[in-house]
């Protein structure tokens, strides 16, 4: 029977959900605090694992390659660095071909669709012979993004200090890189820059040499790793086409832009504090928001409450799969993303379907929302309602914690990780654990943990599934 997920269901309240999201985003600068050591321990009374989801075993090298393929594909589809272009991918494999669903925060335009058609054709060509036409296509589509990376570097800043580097190979390659930066933007320029960046990236101690000895070395290094990652994406596509033949036959499903969800009348700050069972006064503002006046807090809160809602690319993919009656447990249990997920998307994916991703950057975007979704299976509608209720509880629980004081971490994974290790290595563990802790505290409050029975918890970063290991050695996926 076809059902519709709406915010009118018992126990759901969109206005409250939005207000709590805005309050949490306001008080912590949109980023959540890493967990304490104590908070990473779990109790022994967890809910049963989601019966719809196949339990994953250890991922194989082939699975790692597929995960890298999905992440690299999301990256090259995201042709510009702005948030509107954040992209996600997921896929279902058949014997002789692969279906790939693609979503972008601000929807895919005609150029993106043409790019996907060409990409599919070039991947087919890779089955016959490795050639440069796929590489040229990637360069052309991503010119805006590559231009941003190149703009972070000024050759003049670095040429003078190059002599401080003793490694001759490194010095020569860097010199070529900086010479090329000065050329006018073109496919040839970015081709050379990306290849040189990958060469530099693969030199041992390159990061230390650049950051320690060159003026503005951090900017230069950031540019190098992003450009190198782009070249690495091409090599990943070649690798998967050569090792798993069905990836030479890709069928793309670009997901159309979702209409901006409507908003209920916004709650005032005092009403939102009421949800936390707190009065609105200077003490509670200092405790739950920041050391600012009530008027200031009210003004900042109202500003957020007025903003329109967004459906992030991750949610767009889930919505599309549900409406197409494609069982999420039948797709490859990993979602490729051009960036790490925000706190809300990661929490949603973890609770709703356990699909793995590259990790979470910990930020909470106040305009995040789940749209009303019609034409879905009744069971999925119930699961969605349950998930939203659990996220609501998590928001309340996060708001009851002391205000964090830590600094921000970048959204992107490229600045914090190596670029060619198997997937999962580009996850910042603390932020991934943040999600797990939030879930843990929630489940602990729901299922009455016996704290005298402290149990170990395993959170595999490459496939963020929780397992509770009891003192008897029994393993329960959560």
Residues at the interface with Zn ion (CB under 5 A): 312, 342, 345
Nearer to Zn ion among residue 27 and residue 312 (C-beta): 312
167 φ, ψ (degrees, to nearest 5): -65, 115
Nearer to Zn ion among residue 145 and residue 312 (C-beta): 312
Contact 272, 20 (CB under 8 A): yes
Contact 307, 366 (CB under 8 A): yes
Nearer to Zn ion among residue 219 and residue 345 (C-beta): 345
Minimum gap (Å) between residue 360 Cβ and Zn ion: 9
Minimum gap (Å) between residue 90 Cβ and Zn ion: 15
Nearer to Zn ion among residue 222 and residue 312 (C-beta): 312
Nearby residues of 440 by Cβ (< 8 Å), 6 or more positions away: 39, 40, 42, 43, 457, 466
* Structure tokens belonging to residue 224: 């190098």
Minimum gap (Å) between residue 341 Cβ and Zn ion: 5
Buried b / exposed e along 367-377 (16+ C-beta atoms within 10 A) = bbbbbebeebe
Minimum gap (Å) between residue 314 Cβ and Zn ion: 6
Nearer to Zn ion among residue 355 and residue 468 (C-beta): 355
Give 256: exposed, middle or buried? Use CB within 10 Å, 0-12, 13-18, 19+: exposed
The helix or strand, by DSSP H or E, that contains position 394, with its residue range, turns out to be: helix 378-399
Minimum gap (Å) between residue 467 Cβ and Zn ion: 25
Nearer to Zn ion among residue 411 and residue 426 (C-beta): 411
Minimum gap (Å) between residue 312 Cβ and Zn ion: 4
| Strand 250-254 to 98-104 pairing | parallel
Owner of token pair 């006018």:
184
Alpha carbons 437 and 443: distance in angstroms, whole number = 10
Nearer to Zn ion among residue 206 and residue 315 (C-beta): 315
Minimum gap (Å) between residue 229 Cβ and Zn ion: 21
Nearer to Zn ion among residue 79 and residue 346 (C-beta): 346
Nearer to Zn ion among residue 229 and residue 340 (C-beta): 340
Minimum gap (Å) between residue 345 Cβ and Zn ion: 3
Nearer to Zn ion among residue 189 and residue 312 (C-beta): 312
DSSP 180-238: HHTSPS-HHHHHHHHHHHHHHHTSTTHHHHHHHHSTTHHHHHHHHHHHHHHHHHHHHHH
Nearer to Zn ion among residue 71 and residue 191 (C-beta): 71
How many residues are listed for the chain in this entry?
478
Q: Which of 468, 465, 470, 472 is nearest to 55 (CA)?
A: 465
Alpha carbons 359 and 340: distance in angstroms, whole number = 5
Minimum gap (Å) between residue 259 Cβ and Zn ion: 18
Give 114: exposed, middle or buried? Use CB within 10 Å, 0-12, 13-18, 19+: exposed
Nearer to Zn ion among residue 107 and residue 147 (C-beta): 107
Minimum gap (Å) between residue 290 Cβ and Zn ion: 23
Alpha carbons 177 and 441: distance in angstroms, whole number = 49
Contact 42, 457 (CB under 8 A): yes
Alpha carbons 457 and 229: distance in angstroms, whole number = 33
Alpha carbons 97 and 466: distance in angstroms, whole number = 32
Minimum gap (Å) between residue 342 Cβ and Zn ion: 3
Q: Which residue is nearest to Zn ion (CB)?
A: 345
Minimum gap (Å) between residue 428 Cβ and Zn ion: 16
* Structure tokens belonging to residue 435: 């999600």
307 φ, ψ (degrees, to nearest 5): -70, 150
């Amino acid at each position: 029977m076809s059902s519709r997920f709406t915010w009118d269901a018992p126990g759901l309240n969109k206005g409250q959900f939005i207000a709590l999201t805005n309050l949490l985003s306001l008080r912590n600068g949109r980023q959540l605090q890493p967990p304490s050591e104590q908070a990473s321990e779990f109790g022994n009374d967890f809910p049963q694992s989601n019966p719809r989801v196949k339990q994953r075993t250890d991922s194989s090298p082939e699975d790692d390659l597929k995960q890298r393929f999905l992440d690299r594909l999301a990256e090259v589809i995201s042709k510009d660095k702005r948030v509107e272009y954040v992209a996600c991918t997921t896929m279902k494999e058949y014997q002789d071909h692969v279906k790939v669903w693609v979503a972008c925060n601000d929807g895919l335009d005609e150029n993106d669709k043409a790019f996907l058609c060409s990409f599919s054709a070039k991947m087919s060509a890779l089955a016959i012979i490795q050639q440069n036409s796929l590489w040229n296509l990637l360069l052309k589509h991503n010119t805006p993004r590559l231009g941003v990376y190149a703009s972070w570097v000024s050759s003049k800043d670095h040429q003078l200090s190059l002599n401080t580097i003793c490694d001759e190979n490194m010095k020569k390659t860097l010199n070529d890189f900086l010479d090329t930066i000065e050329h006018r933007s073109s496919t040839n320029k970015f081709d050379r820059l990306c290849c040189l960046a990958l060469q530099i990236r693969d030199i041992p101690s390159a990061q230390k040499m650049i950051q320690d000895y060159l003026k503005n070395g951090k900017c230069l290094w950031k540019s190098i790793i992003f450009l190198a990652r782009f070249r690495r994406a091409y090599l990943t596509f070649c690798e998967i086409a050569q090792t798993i033949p069905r990836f030479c036959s890709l069928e793309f499903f670009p997901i159309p832009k979702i209409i901006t969800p409507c908003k209920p009348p916004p709650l005032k700050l005092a009403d939102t504090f009421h949800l936390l069972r707190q009065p609105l006064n200077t003490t509670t503002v200092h405790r739950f928001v920041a050391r600012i006046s009530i008027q200031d807090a009210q003004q900042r809160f109202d500003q957020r409450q007025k903003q329109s809602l967004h459906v992030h690319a991750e949610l767009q993919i889930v919505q599309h799969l549900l409406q197409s009656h494609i069982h999420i447990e039948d797709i490859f249990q990993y979602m490729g993303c051009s960036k790490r997920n925000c706190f809300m998307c990661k929490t949603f994916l973890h609770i709703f379907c356990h699909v793995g991703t590259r990790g979470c950057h910990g930020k909470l975007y106040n305009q995040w929302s789940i749209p009303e979704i019609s034409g879905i299976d009744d069971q999925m509608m119930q699961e969605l309602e349950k998930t939203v209720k659990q996220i609501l509880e998590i928001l309340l629980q996060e708001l009851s914690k002391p205000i964090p004081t830590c600094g921000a971490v970048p959204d992107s994974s490229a600045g914090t990780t190596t670029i060619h290790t198997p997937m999962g290595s580009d996850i910042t563990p603390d932020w991934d654990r943040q999600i797990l802790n939030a879930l843990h505290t929630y489940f602990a409050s729901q299922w009455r943990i016996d704290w005298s029975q402290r149990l170990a918890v395993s959170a595999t970063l490459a496939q963020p599934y929780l397992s509770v290991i009891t003192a008897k050695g029994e393993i329960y996926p959560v």
